[in-house]
Amino acid sequence: MTVGVLTLDLAVYESQSLKDKRRVIKGLKDRLTHRFRVSVAEVDHLDSWQRAVLGVALVSNDPVYVHGSLDRIVDFVRGQRGVSLIDYEKRTC
């Protein structure tokens, strides 16, 4: 079994309030969940209205699939409107 964890550090520059940020982040979380079949949660900067850190988790019996999926998620997030990817970290075990 391989567990992949991806931490995404995001900027939400167009956000003017926590409500704006949560709307953008919720939409991104929903798209990631439905498109990639992963678990997603906002894990840091909860009270900041222009920053967010998302944690993404994926479990599979194929390590190649896990690494490829995490790479595709990073590429997908880079192409999303409303958020900018500042940094990310991939871990597998």
Domain of residue 18 covers 2-92
For residue 50, give the nearest of 77, 80, 86 by alpha carbon: 86
pTM for the whole structure: 0.91
Rg over CA atoms, the chain:
13
Reading the chain (93 residues) residue by residue, the pLDDT tens digits are: 999 999 999 999 989 999 999 999 999 999 999 999 999 999 998 889 999 999 999 999 999 999 999 999 999 999 999 999 999 999 999
pLDDT score, position 46: 86
Contact 57/8 with Cβ under 8 angstroms?
Answer: no
Query: Which pair of tokens denotes residue 56?
Result: 């993404």
CATH number at residue 14: 3.30.70.1120
User: Structural domain tally of the chain?
Assistant: 1
